[in-house]
Copies of this chain bind each other. A is one copy, B any other.
Amino acid sequence: MTRPMRPNGPAAHRLGPKHLVSLKGLMDFLPANSRQELLDMAMPESAEAGTTIIADGATVDQIGFLCDGLLGLIKILPDRRRHIIGILAPFDVFGRIFDGPSPVEVEALSDVELLRLPRDRFEGMLQRFPEAERLFLAGLLKEVDAAREWVLVMGKAKVVQRLAAFLLFLGRHDLRGVGVAQNRSGHSTNVKIAIDRQTLSQFLGARHESLSRAFHELADDHIIRINSPYDVDILNMAALVAASG
Contact = CB atoms under 8 A, between A and B. Distances in A.
B147 A151 contact: yes
A12 interface: no
A202 B202 CA distance: 23
A155 B97 CA distance: 27
Interface string A109-127: 0000000000000000001
A107 B85 CA distance: 26
Interface in A132-170: 134, 137-138, 140-141, 143-145, 147-152, 154-157
Interface string A197-209: 0000011110000
Contact of A155 (B104, B145, B205): B205
Contacts of A157: 205
A171 to B, nearest CB: 17
Contacts of A145: 103
A137 B141 CA distance: 10
Stoichiometry (number of copies)? 2
Interface string A85-98: 11000000000111
A98 B148 contact: no
A130 interface: yes
B154 A205 contact: yes
A137 B98 contact: yes
A220 interface: no
Contact of A85 (B96, B151, B205): B151
B104 A148 contact: yes
Contacts of A154: 151, 154-155, 205
Report, nearest first, the 9 A-B pairs whose CB atoms are least far apart: A147-B147, A155-B205, A154-B154, A85-B151, A98-B134, A85-B148, A150-B151, A98-B137, A147-B148
Interface of A: 73, 75, 83, 85-86, 96-99, 103-104, 127, 130, 134, 137-138, 140-141, 143-145, 147-152, 154-157, 202-205
30 contacts: A73-B148, A75-B148, A75-B152, A83-B152, A85-B148, A85-B149, A85-B152, A85-B155, A86-B148, A97-B137, A98-B134, A98-B138, A99-B141, A127-B130, A140-B140, A140-B141, A140-B144, A144-B144, A144-B147, A147-B147, A150-B151, A151-B154, A154-B154, A154-B155, A154-B205, A155-B202, A155-B203, A155-B204, A156-B205, A157-B205
